Structure 1
Amino acid sequence: MMRRHLRIALLCLLVVCNAGLFGATRPVILGTHGVTASGHYLATLAGIRVMEQGGNAVDAGVAMVFAQNVLEPESCGFGGEVPILVYSAKDSKVHAISGQGVAPRAATIDWFKHNGFEKIPGDGFLPAVVPAVMDALALALEHYGTMTLAQVMQPAIDLAEKGFPIGRSLQRGIGSVEDRFKSEWPSSARVFLSGGKAPEFGDLLVQKDIARTFQRIVAGETEAKAKGRALAIRAGRDVFYKGDVARKIVRFQRETRVKDATGHTFSGLLSEADLAGYQGRIEEPITVNYRGIDVYKVGPWAQSPVFLQQLNLLEGFDLKAMHHNSADYIHTVVEASKLAFADREAYYGDPEFVSVPLRGLLSKEYAAERRRLIAPHKASL
């Protein structure tokens, strides 16, 4: 027993000494059941909660995305998009889900030209696409998860209904557009401003509207429960795209005018037909091998291939010898990024409408050719 105690004491001493030498760090997270990670600790806990209830990794991931849309509306919009990659242990393959919305049918080039636009503004209603998040999450849950929408959405509903303390990021996000809330976005002001002012750090944020929206989706699934899990999930999804939620989205953006970057106000272009006709899909991911490691991304409808092109370019350099974040290291990574992003601007687009030469862009031969443009001691424009 004396030796065992001595070994433990020595181990503790080594831990204390190492902490003193290298400074305090976050502890290594260890577990035996599963691990979740997200941009907000409460979303991470939502994933853990779902896994503890018997859900798999996809169930947890879907639950976390729903929770993120409640917890971090400054960066995670339920009206936006969500590219998803799933590794399936059943077939040992990686699958991609195209959670990318499409433009409204009324958003034609002629419409924008007729209304005096040389390019689509970056804010307001006009750049809005069909919301894709709900569809993509339902697809992931149906095909790769095990739970119901009711189960994976409950943590998000609880957070929206009961509230949560506002963190620094959300506080800054609301504060940065406080004036626009007051003058241009009254419906958002009712949700995010407290007594007409931006909330303080730690204030409780309650979002009854999104809680009710999520509850409507769950109710749609519950009503179709007898049809089986897959059809019930689709019924819940259809509440958003074909039911009451869709009608309210269209009515609001048709009856409301919002100022955009041009300084003018416009109502939205989305129609009920746009939402009802939207359908995401499961796709083959794109991949490159980087030094023996297969790296997967979604297709060129996102800018995901940029990262794979960067890896191909950087594979020809000894980054380790340059040392992390040295001047040479940063220069090389930045120059590779410039080349990859230049190709994005020249070649990428929606593969439904644009022929993207992915095979060539992701080839090792093309990377070797482009790599010669990276000068070791000279920055490109």
Structure 2
Amino acid sequence: MSTTHRVTGPASRSPVLARRGMAATSHPLATQIALDILKQGGTAVDAAIAANAALCLMEPTGCGLGGDLFALVWDPASHKLHGLNGSGHSAQGLTLAHLKQILGNQPHIPLLGPLSVTVPGAVAGWFALQNRFGRLEMAQILAPTIAYARAGVAVPKIIAAAWNDNLKRFEQGQAQIPQGDGLRTFAPRGRAPLEGEVFTNPDLAWTLERLAVDGRAAFYSGEIAQKLVAYLGRVGSFLQKIDFQEHQSTWVEPVSVNYRGYDIYELPPSSQGIAALQMLNMLEGYDLQAMGHNSADYLHLHVEVKKLAFADRARYYADPDVYPAPVTALCSKDYAAQRRREIDPQRAQARVSAGSLGGSDTVYLTVADSTGMMVSLIQSNYWGMGGGLVPDGLGFMLQNRGAQFTLEEGHPNAYAPGKRPFHTIIPAFVLKEGEPWLSLGVMGGEMQPQGHVQVLCNIIDFGMDIQAAGDSARYFHFGDNDPDGHQMTDGGSLALERGISRNVREALVQRGHQLRLAPGSFGGYQAIYWDRVQGVYHGASEMRKDGQAAGY
């Protein structure tokens, strides 16, 4: 941790310390499952998959087998950080012209219903990770969740509230959701489970049992795939057998920038990870310590660099197989210096453009094992629980990630057949002097890059421990972008958590920021810090979720 300037942060519980293994997830039982897998001889990757599977049952409001996955893995054997893009593609048999004809005058792909469904990539991601870095059989990894799915699991407070909110949204959009097993699966009492009620999902248990026996093929060409394709064909999706058969996860090279001596790693597009890197590059040119933590100067600067990075995000980030984004240029120090010149330290920018380059809901978890392997993994159905479609007898909802495509012809993220949509979910990792230092993530759509940057500044610039860094009050800037990268809402709006003073709020309003009521969530953070001098892991799971960090 930084020792040059320490801010104690908010009143907060201590980080969890352990030497042999550590897990931090958004549900205590998923954390315990991860530790059990480590104690059975599994690697950090085995444990991360087990925890993710558990969250698919226990926190379906944020993830599921119908969604996608991204991961960063520090492998001590190769002494290298590996990246996995486990996201799926759009239907090969649907063109942009045909899609626009179906949508008529609708300007966007709807969040609910069959048109936003893309091939679920999470299961393929599990097997890609396990085949490369795992030690246990998948049957052993999935066994705890299968048992919980049949016996039942008590629903905690925050997940229960999110569950209820999701089902209300589905009721409001009922006309867009074709018939399936959604209510039987996720509202067995005719409503969302209440806090403390027991939820079972025997259909999900069946699906996981097929994966345990028949492996990846069950989901993409076997019995599960047959059920998926039959259901999707019935409800009006254009996804077909070939879309599942040809799906592959992609190993990618992580992208990094050096921020004050720390190498911060994110995944390249199709995810939004490099937005965090762009923000850090711009912030590095300022003395944040002198401004003071969460002061008006500090928050104003953060919001302004966020606007610039997100304007680039709207213009340049897309499926690299279709549009290779200029990642090197976007993450360069020279480009950051160019963009800094556009910032007025006393006035909020109303509209910003993408730079000239010369040429929801989610779950995040992190696990570390006794060998030094560390995993930073994030998984999501995109908007809440997904698009409302639950295939018959499978126990999970399909993602609505395809709603992230734009319908603007010629745009890098325009819809096209067999294409990955732009993705918001991002894991992060930090190396110091070439060695693993920190695995972290912050859930929540556009909050994720903003959350990464805030937590990293709390740790690196202000010397907070990893628990206080996550519990500290956050900002969340909202501002949709048009296809050319211009902000559409005159500078967007800014939500501030309790803990940021009234004087700071008034000063931000005077600079032109439009404050809004705080949303329900400012993300959900987990982290593991590795103290290699002492040989000790430090784990953190923040107060905004039902989660837990634990080790042994």
Aligned to 1:85: 72
Residues 1:348 and 2:317 aligned together: yes
Bigger shift: residues 185-194 or 341-350: 185-194
Identity %: 36
Aligned to 2:56: 69
Residues 1:139 and 2:128 aligned together: yes
**Can you list the C-alpha shifts for 1:55-96, whole angstroms capped at 9, x where unaligned?**
121111111111111111111122111111011101111110
- After superposition, residues 161-176 of structure 1 pair within 5 angstroms as 161-176=150-165
Q: Measure the CA separation in 2 of the matches of 1:279 and 1:99.
A: 8
Aligned to 1:197: 191
Q: Measure the CA separation in 2 of the matches of 1:320 and 1:146.
A: 45
SS across alignment from 1:82:
strand
Residues 1:245 and 2:224 aligned together: yes
Question: 1:171 Cα shift?
Answer: 1.6
Question: 1:177 Cα shift?
Answer: 3.9
- After superposition, residues 1-381 of structure 1 pair within 5 angstroms as 25-115=12-102, 116=104, 117-179=106-168, 180=170, 184=177, 187-220=181-214, 236-256=215-235, 267-381=236-350
Instruction: Label 1:215 to 1:181 Cα distance change in 2 as closer, same or farther (>3 A).
Output: farther
Query: Conserved in 1, the CA contact under 8 Å of 2:317 and 2:325?
Result: yes
Matched length? 336
> Which structure is richer in relative contact order (CA contacts within 8 A, separation 6 or more)?
2
Larger radius of gyration: 1
Richer in strand (by share): 2
SS across alignment from 2:337:
helix
Query: Conserved in 2, the CA contact under 8 Å of 1:112 and 1:118?
Result: no
Question: 1:196 Cα shift?
Answer: 1.7
SS across alignment from 1:30:
strand
Q: Measure the CA separation in 1 of the matches of 2:144 and 2:334.
A: 48
Question: 1:189 Cα shift?
Answer: 0.8
Query: Conserved in 2, the CA contact under 8 Å of 1:181 and 1:189?
Result: no
**Can you list the C-alpha shifts for 1:206-256, whole angstroms capped at 9, x where unaligned?**
011111000011111xxxxxxxxxxxxxxx011110101011111112213
Richer in helix (by share): 1
Question: 1:198 Cα shift?
Answer: 2.7
Q: TM-score, normalised by structure 2?
A: 0.59
Bigger shift: residues 154-163 or 339-348: 154-163
The residue type paired with residue 304 of structure 2 is E
Bigger shift: residues 26-35 or 284-293: 26-35
SS across alignment from 2:22:
coil
SS across alignment from 1:126:
helix
Q: Measure the CA separation in 2 of the matches of 1:362 and 1:28.
A: 32
Alpha-carbon RMSD across the aligned residues, in angstroms, is: 1.9
